[in-house]
Structure 1
Amino acid sequence: MRWSDAGRLRFGVLLLVCGLAACDEPEPIRIGFLGEMSGRNADLGVSSLNGAMIAIEEQNLAGGLNGRPIHIVVRDDTMNPALAVKYLDDFAAASIEVVIGPVISNMVVAIAPAAAARNLLLISPGAKTRRLTGLDDNVIRMVSDTSLNAVSMATFLAERRDIHRVVIIRDGSNDEFTKDWSDDFTARFGQLKRSVDREIVYESGGRAHFHDLAKQAVMAKSDAIVLIAGNLDAAILCQHIRNFDPDVVIATSEWAGSDKFIEAGGRATEGVLLSQNINSESDDPAYLTFVQKYRSKYKSDPGLIGIRAYEAAQTIFTALKLRQDDESIKEAILRIGTFPGMQNPVQIDRFGDSARPPFISEVSGGKLTVVGR
């Protein structure tokens, strides 16, 4: 085939136009995502990613940030710190500045130094360990530490349900969270002249026998059993506990404070008290709109972590829009301080910590009903 001069001219113009169009395409803003997408805590990683994705889709539909689209680079850390550090290298190589995640306290504590060494900011939707409180580090948290929720639950059980003695079962595989929560609960319960008869520690994903754990707790003959474990573990423990004692009071930390706990545990979750940081009965417009979008897209409820991941993404967008010359994302977030949130504003202090009000909910008729604050 031979080209005419006119054909060559038209082809050259086409190449020039295509080249100019490619040059005009703005470079995307890349955000990292790191979470457990497989394993026993996969529900947290998945809901976190889903919440962040809704925020990103909304922002891109609105034109992105300064005309640049937002892309998210997703990595499944499988709750393996060594693997997570490898993914931090991937993020740094891609010139990513900020990462949403991880959710689990143990993971955030384990990889925070490596993230700092790579100038990566971690924004965690769920890390509540007190070890990170009051530190000038590279971690921003969208949740308060364990103290508010644990103290709230201890006070509620003592003063509203007249509970005097409890047994605690906690998952040692996320010790950074569960030990802090247990310690905060025990301290407040003691102040109220109540006692923790026994603390039972197990390792999720190991050789834990939930039947035996439940039997040990029930045999203590306490007034209540407090579970500090994830959705699935807490649901299974409830089933075994109810087989031994259908009437004992059961309470959980916010780690199990979602509808997924009810789905997994079924009738055994009826009457269980859950610590939460979201009022599921709220009529806040932003909350209702987000939940409707999430349910429509993913056919499930977002839970606390999905909501906090959405807020994390929105916080990043605000910081990127408003940051000043030569200001890092962390510096912009700390300077701005207050960001829009669902049900209440996100207040981030100079250490990157947040304080979110706790709620106590009870499972009734397969749904969560707020019974205390």
Structure 2
Amino acid sequence: MKKIYFLIILTIVFVCIFLFSKLKEEKSIKIGFVGALTGKYSVLGNAMVNGVLLAFEENNYELNGRKIELVFKDDKQNEELNKQIINAFIEDDIKIIIGNVTSSMSKVSMSIINKVNDMFMISASSASNEFAGIDDNFFRVHVANNTQRFDSFSNYIIKNNYKNIYGIYDPHNKTYSMDYLLNLEKALILKKENSFINYASSNDDLTKLIENLNELKPDLILICANSVDTARLVQYFRLKGLSIPIASSEWAMTPSFIENAGKSSEGVIFNIDYNAKADNLVYKTFVKKYLDKYGIYPSMFASKAYELSNIIIEMLKKGKETQIKENILAKKEFDGLQGKIIFDDNGDVSRKFNTFVVVNGEFKKVDD
């Protein structure tokens, strides 16, 4: 009889342990982050990690009595590794993913995620227009490279009489870089301006690139590449005596660009939906918190990662992690650090863009 009692008690204990562990699992919400955390693209990835951590830290990694677990993975800008990470997230029952750093890697992730109905991914930087206008599981707080996004930049180019533009793209993130150049070109053509005179890769032989530029004599060189490669190209062009005006995409507009390019960065033009010197209270409060925690000023990508994290937090307070997409679309309008973030039915956003020029080692806003 004692043996039977012992077995009953032992069974009850095991059942309680099992139920307690299951309950603990249900209380935990896992959120995955996938992006470049090493290598030349890590300037974006590490800034985003900082923004994400700050937002969830402000909520003590807990929402509605449930713990938040953040799982950070480095995709190393490698397609196969990226696929492994996404599949591991799926196996670990992670429903919310923040990523990727580049559009090329986001494309890889979405090829898997879109086959899983209850997963949701949101990006702070992937801007390829290839993702726009699609009812899928991918949202972003970064504006797509559509012709409307380039309205202010094309006006600036026309105003400054840059008729012949030479485009340079990053071949390792072609989904974004060529998309950026082609859609700016379309915006200019719609305003009766010229097509670009040539396209080249940022990996092309620099000697031949200089020869081609000297031969074609463009009015403007437009580089769409990461901050490291953009700085390398700008510095090389200036050392070789090229005085042609240079513009770059917002991808390169980080403090590291000025640090790497040095004096050669002077006069480089950027068109961006972010102002590092904005003086509204919400943004200034965020900057202070960021400075106190990390000892550096936030980049656009740190700020946008913070914004999207707060959107996730707000939505999790309203419903389950499998309902993020539906809850965002139900509300659509959110408070950002520098104005409203408004999602359309496909998870794309619109923002106001301004033009900046590097002056005395700083990004200075100019009139369009």
TM-score (norm 2): 0.87
What's the offset of the Cα at 1:332? 1.2
State the partner residue of 2:353.
Answer: 358
> Which range moved further: 362-371 or 191-200?
191-200
State the AA in 2 paired with 1:96: I
- CA distance, structure 2, for counterparts of residue 226 and residue 203 of structure 1: 11
Structure 1 residue matching 2:251: 3-state secondary structure: helix
State the partner residue of 2:113.
Answer: 115
Consecutive unaligned residues in structure 2, runs of 5 or more:
1-16
Is the 8 Å Cα contact of residues 276 and 299 (structure 2) preserved in structure 1?
Answer: no
What's the offset of the Cα at 1:243? 1.9
State the partner residue of 2:167.
Answer: 168
Q: 1:163 to 1:360 in 2, by over 3 A?
A: same
State the AA in 2 paired with 1:39: G
State the AA in 1 paired with 2:230: A
- CA distance, structure 2, for counterparts of residue 226 and residue 194 of structure 1: 16
State the AA in 1 paired with 2:357: E
Of all paired residues, the percent bearing the same amino acid is: 29
Map 1:286-365 to 2 at 5 A: 286-323=282-319, 328-365=323-360
Structure 2 residue matching 1:59: 3-state secondary structure: coil
1:155 aligns with 2:148: no
Q: 1:137 to 1:197 in 2, by over 3 A?
A: closer
CA deviation vs aligned residue, 1:158-192 (integer Å, no higher than 9, x gap): 11x22222211111221211222111221233344
> What value does the CA root-mean-square deviation take over the aligned residues?
2.3
- CA distance, structure 2, for counterparts of residue 214 and residue 236 of structure 1: 13
What's the offset of the Cα at 1:106? 1.0
What's the offset of the Cα at 1:86? 1.2
Structure 1 residue matching 2:350: 3-state secondary structure: coil
Map 1:200-219 to 2 at 5 A: 200-202=199-201, 208-219=204-215
Consecutive unaligned residues in structure 1, runs of 5 or more:
1-18
What's the offset of the Cα at 1:193? 4.4
What's the offset of the Cα at 1:318? 0.9
State the partner residue of 1:275.
Answer: 271
Map 1:95-134 to 2 at 5 A: 95-118=93-116, 119-134=118-133
Is the 8 Å Cα contact of residues 119 and 322 (structure 2) preserved in structure 1?
Answer: no
- CA distance, structure 2, for counterparts of residue 364 and residue 203 of structure 1: 24
Is the 8 Å Cα contact of residues 276 and 300 (structure 2) preserved in structure 1?
Answer: no
State the partner residue of 1:11.
Answer: none
Equivalent position to 2:223, from 218, 224, 227:
227
What's the offset of the Cα at 1:246? 5.1
- CA distance, structure 1, for counterparts of residue 48 and residue 314 of structure 2: 19
Is the 8 Å Cα contact of residues 230 and 255 (structure 1) preserved in structure 2?
Answer: yes
- CA distance, structure 1, for counterparts of residue 289 and residue 208 of structure 2: 41
CA deviation vs aligned residue, 1:51-97 (integer Å, no higher than 9, x gap): 11110111117xx2112232200100111222112112222222211
Structure 2 residue matching 1:146: 3-state secondary structure: coil
Structure 1 residue matching 2:364: 3-state secondary structure: strand
Is the 8 Å Cα contact of residues 150 and 253 (structure 1) preserved in structure 2?
Answer: no
> Which range moved further: 119-128 or 184-193?
184-193
State the AA in 1 paired with 2:83: V
State the AA in 1 paired with 2:32: G
What's the offset of the Cα at 1:220? 2.0
State the partner residue of 1:239.
Answer: 235
Is the 8 Å Cα contact of residues 51 and 306 (structure 1) preserved in structure 2?
Answer: yes
What's the offset of the Cα at 1:312? 1.1
Equivalent position to 2:66, from 61, 65, 68:
68
What's the offset of the Cα at 1:203? 5.7
State the partner residue of 1:5.
Answer: none
CA deviation vs aligned residue, 1:119-159 (integer Å, no higher than 9, x gap): 42110111111111110011011111113443432220211
TM-score (norm 1): 0.86
State the partner residue of 1:367.
Answer: 362
> Which range moved further: 335-344 or 148-157?
148-157
Map 1:159-198 to 2 at 5 A: 159=159, 161-198=160-197
Is the 8 Å Cα contact of residues 273 and 363 (structure 1) preserved in structure 2?
Answer: yes
- CA distance, structure 2, for counterparts of residue 303 and residue 216 of structure 1: 34
What's the offset of the Cα at 1:368? 0.7
Structure 1 residue matching 2:184: 3-state secondary structure: helix
- CA distance, structure 2, for counterparts of residue 212 and residue 360 of structure 1: 31
> Which range moved further: 150-159 or 342-351?
150-159
State the partner residue of 1:50.
Answer: 50
Is the 8 Å Cα contact of residues 223 and 246 (structure 2) preserved in structure 1?
Answer: yes
CA deviation vs aligned residue, 1:1-30 (integer Å, no higher than 9, x gap): xxxxxxxxxxxxxxxxxx9xx989783321
- CA distance, structure 1, for counterparts of residue 340 and residue 207 of structure 2: 42
